[in-house]
Every structure is written in C-alpha cells, then in structure tokens.
C-alpha cells in the first residue's frame, strides 16, 4: 500500500479540525467513549499487531526495557479505554471566557478559549501514547497528526484505525486522527516543516529529537524536555522528611523525567544527613563531590558531566553546598528547568528557594515526583513543558488551546 503524502494527511487534518473546533462537548465525549469501545472491541487485532512489533524488536536485539514499553496485553488495552473515559469526564476547555471587560467607548471585549487547530506529536515506542494523545486532542477540539516510532508502527496502525472508527461512529470526522505511517527520518523532517498545517508540535523524546526540532522546525512547538531535577536538603531540614523525599524522588520510578538526579546537602547537616541518606538509598549508584566523599568515602567521584546528566536510572550525583546561595547557584548552573525541591523547616529558606529557583515547578517538602498532570490536578497530560512560552510544566487540555479576542460593538470607529 502506497503511503499517503504528508501534505495530504495535513490537509485532511486541517479540514477536520475546523469541524471539530465547533463540536459540542456532548459530541466529543461520545466520541471518546466510542473510541474506547472500539479499542476494546478489537483487542485481538491490536495484540496481534503488537506481537509483530515485539517480535521485530526482539529480532533487532532491542533492550528489555524498550520491549516492555512496547508490549501490550488485554489489560493495557482496557487501560487505554479507561484513559479515554477519564478524559471524557474532564471539563471542556473550549469556550471558556478567560477574561473580558467593557471599554470606555462601549466596546464589549472578551478573550475566549479556542482549539489550536492541528496538533502534531512525535513520540517513541509506547503505543498507548497514540490513544492518550488522540484523546486529549479530541477533547480539546483539535485534530491530531501522530508520528510514532517505526518500532511501534503495526500497533499504532491498529490503534489509530480503531480510534478513527470510534470518532466516525459518534458523527465526528475520522480525519481528526491521522497516523503518519511514513516513519522515515526524511518524513519527520518534513513533518516539522508543515507550517500552516500544524499549529502546535509537541516532540516527546530525547535530546536528539529536541535538537532536530530546534534545527529544522518551522512550525510552532512546545518542547517536552529533560528533567535534571534536584533535591536540596537544607541545614534546617527534618531528616525524616528528607530521607522520605530523597528516596521517593530517586527510587520510586527512576526512568521518568520528574525523578531526582542530584542531591544537594547543606554542609552543616551533611555529616549527619549524608550517611543516613546513603544508607536509605541502598541499590542506587552514588557519585559525589569531594566534600561528599569525605563523609561517605565509599562512593565514586562525581564529575560536572554527572551533575549535568539526567540518569533516568538508579544513579544519583551528590554535592555538599556551603549554604542556600550555593545550592541555588548549583541549580541555576545544571538545572534543565523542570522540577526542583527543597527540604527545610526554615521559612526564609523556603521563600527564597521558591522565588529564586527558575524552573517549571519548585517544591517545598514534597517529592519532585508530584510534578505531573494527574498529581497537580490537570486530569491528564500530553507532556511536560520545560520551556517558558505558551506552557510551562505539565500540559493538559488547557495547554492544547489558544485564545481569541472577541470584540462586539455598535458601529464604533477609532478616532
């Protein structure tokens, strides 16, 4: 079967986006439920397609972690459908009046939330992203162009076909969901240049993908970047709290972007805190600066590269800092602006950390792991923005919209 050119997929998505932008919440929620039912109804086909992807990955010698992300079972298909039902239950952001006023000349001005139009997503091996991203875009009134990885192509085809059927059953345009089946490198470079078609690109992947987007994209994009997150244990920290938070932030799910990668400890408390934290972090590979190694000598030295690295694994870099200023400076130097935490009992230290640390999220006495859409009350997320424009931190339905000024008058002209 010949692959449909990207430009054609784009035109179809654009046309569908106009219809979807005017769809009622009732219609969109019905479509989300129909999509879920469609997915569950073809579980067998989805799992057969997924088995092909998994077998191919196995032949290619892909790592067990990657295969695990790729692999679906009946339970995971049900989870996708449940995810769509959860999105249906969220409030519709479209139509929200953000603010408004009457001007001195009688003009009635308001800003109204409207869909972006066509959202493009570039993502890696998890086939559930196909369903999750499509659901969030559908609910927010956007058409979506999904460019998943080559490794998940068969799974994505089966999932996208089911979703399109669900959308059509609910009377909305199936072209609102477009799977990009050309998974070549050339096609992804073409994809990020679909200016005029894609209103917002969300690249979900590693530094190589982000670098490609920075170099080639002409469409507007929101970077879902790395999380080199720090936990700073202040001089005044409650060490029970510190231990709980550091262990949770590092160990609860080390492969995700809101896991901690560096521990900073105030020098005054380091001789007591560090041995205790090191013991609690059993199973984590620790590397430390000179001052840390003077206290816990059996760990390897940490380089600047360690401090700059998002390990995404059971590895933690440790530095002892002289004071809060040194902690803030270390974070300013190495942070990727994702999530930064302080453990403290000191009001002034908490206040300064909140104000002076420049990140999407700053946390006081709480684990960095809370920085995701579900935990912060967004309901679901399509990514976590580490940039400052448009969206910062977890991106939910609201971040998939823009605003429009509506100005109503009675014949006013400007003098």
Note the residues at the interface with its own copies (CB under 8 A): 18, 21-22, 101, 103, 107, 109, 114, 116-117, 195, 199-200, 214-215, 218, 220, 222, 238, 240-241, 244-245, 247-249, 252, 332, 350, 354-356, 358-367, 369-371, 375-377, 387-390, 392-394, 402-415
* Closest separation in Å from C-beta 406 to its own copies: 5
Alpha-carbon torsion, ordered 391, 366, 357, 301, to 10 deg = -120
* Closest separation in Å from C-beta 55 to its own copies: 35
Question: Which CB, 5 or 409, lies closer to its own copies?
Answer: 409
From 79, 78, 60, 51, select the one nearest 152 (Cα to Cα): 51
Q: Does residue 378 sit in helix, strand or coil?
A: coil
Question: Which CB, 2 or 413, lies closer to its own copies?
Answer: 413
Question: Which CB, 36 or 394, lies closer to its own copies?
Answer: 394
Question: Which CB, 48 or 102, lies closer to its own copies?
Answer: 102
* Closest separation in Å from C-beta 335 to its own copies: 12
From 365, 381, 263, select the one nearest 311 (Cα to Cα): 263
* Closest separation in Å from C-beta 408 to its own copies: 5
Question: Which CB, 151 or 394, lies closer to its own copies?
Answer: 394
From 218, 157, 156, select the one nearest 189 (Cα to Cα): 218
* Closest separation in Å from C-beta 365 to its own copies: 5
The b/e string for 22-56 (b: 16+ C-beta within 10 A; e otherwise) is ebeeeebbbbbbbbbbbbbebbeebbebbeebbeb
CB 131 within 8 A of CB 84: yes
* Closest separation in Å from C-beta 297 to its own copies: 29
How far apart (Å, rounded) are the C-alpha atoms in residues 225 and 264?
A: 22
From 157, 146, 206, 144, select the one nearest 53 (Cα to Cα): 157
How far apart (Å, rounded) are the C-alpha atoms in residues 361 and 339?
A: 5
* Closest separation in Å from C-beta 405 to its own copies: 4
Give bridge partners of residue 394 from the DSSP assignment.
384
Give bridge partners of residue 341 from the DSSP assignment.
231, 363
Question: Which CB, 213 or 274, lies closer to its own copies?
Answer: 213
* Closest separation in Å from C-beta 112 to its own copies: 8
| Those residues with Cβ within 8 angstroms of residue 147's Cβ, 6 or more apart along the chain or in another chain | 120, 121, 122, 123, 180, 183, 187, 188, 191
How far apart (Å, rounded) are the C-alpha atoms in residues 36 and 167?
A: 10
Q: How far apart are the first and last CA of the chain?
A: 62
Residue 154 per-residue DSSP state: H
Here the tokens at position 41 are: 């109804």
Question: Which CB, 8 or 22, lies closer to its own copies?
Answer: 22
Question: Which CB, 73 or 195, lies closer to its own copies?
Answer: 195
From 353, 348, 3, 11, select the one nearest 180 (Cα to Cα): 3
Question: Which CB, 26 or 407, lies closer to its own copies?
Answer: 407
Q: Does residue 312 sit in helix, strand or coil?
A: coil
* Closest separation in Å from C-beta 282 to its own copies: 17
């Amino acid at each position: 079967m010949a692959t449909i050119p990207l430009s054609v997929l784009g035109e179809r998505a654009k046309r569908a986006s106009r219809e979807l932008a005017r769809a009622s919440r009732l219609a969109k929620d019905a479509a989300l439920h129909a999509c879920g039912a469609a997915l569950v109804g073809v579980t067998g086909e989805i799992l057969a397609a997924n088995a092909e992807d998994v077998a191919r990955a196995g032949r290619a010698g892909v790592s067990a972690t990657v295969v695990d992300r790729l692999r679906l079972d009946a339970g995971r298909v049900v989870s996708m459908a449940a995810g769509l039902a959860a999105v249906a239950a969220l409030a519709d952001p479209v139509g929200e009046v953000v603010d408004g006023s009457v001007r001195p000349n009688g003009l009635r001005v308001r800003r109204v939330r409207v869909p972006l139009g066509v959202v493009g997503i570039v993502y890696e091996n998890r086939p559930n992203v196909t369903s999750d991203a499509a659901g969030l875009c559908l609910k927010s009134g956007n058409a979506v162009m999904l460019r998943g990885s080559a490794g998940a192509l068969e799974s994505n085809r089966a999932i996208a076909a089911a979703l399109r059927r669900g959308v059509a059953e609910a009377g909305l345009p199936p072209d609102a969901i477009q799977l990009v089946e050309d998974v070549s490198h050339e096609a992804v470079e073409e994809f990020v240049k679909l200016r005029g078609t894609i209103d917002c690109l969300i690249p979900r992947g590693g530094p190589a993908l982000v670098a490609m987007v920075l170099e080639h994209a002409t469409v507007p994009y929101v970077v879902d970047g790395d999380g080199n997150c720090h936990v700073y244990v202040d001089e005044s920290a409650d060490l029970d709290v510190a231990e709980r938070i550091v262990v949770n932030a590092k160990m609860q799910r080390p492969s995700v972007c809101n896991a901690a990668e560096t521990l900073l400890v105030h020098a005054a408390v380091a001789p007591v805190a560090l041995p205790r934290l090191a013991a609690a972090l059993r199973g984590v590979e620790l590397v430390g600066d000179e001052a840390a190694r003077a206290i816990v000598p059996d760990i390897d030295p940490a380089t600047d590269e360690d401090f700059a690295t998002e390990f995404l694994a059971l590895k933690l870099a440790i530095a002892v800092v002289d004071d809060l200023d040194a902690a803030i400076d270390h974070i300013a130097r190495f942070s990727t602006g994702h999530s930064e935490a302080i453990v403290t009992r000191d009001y002034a230290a908490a206040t300064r950390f909140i104000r002076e640390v420049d990140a999407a999220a700053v946390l006081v006495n709480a684990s960095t792991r809370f920085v995701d859409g579900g935990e912060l009350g967004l309901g679901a997320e399509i990514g976590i923005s580490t940039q400052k424009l448009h969206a910062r931190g977890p991106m939910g339905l609201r971040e998939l919209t823009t605003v429009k000024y509506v100005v109503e008058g009675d014949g006013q002209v400007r003098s």
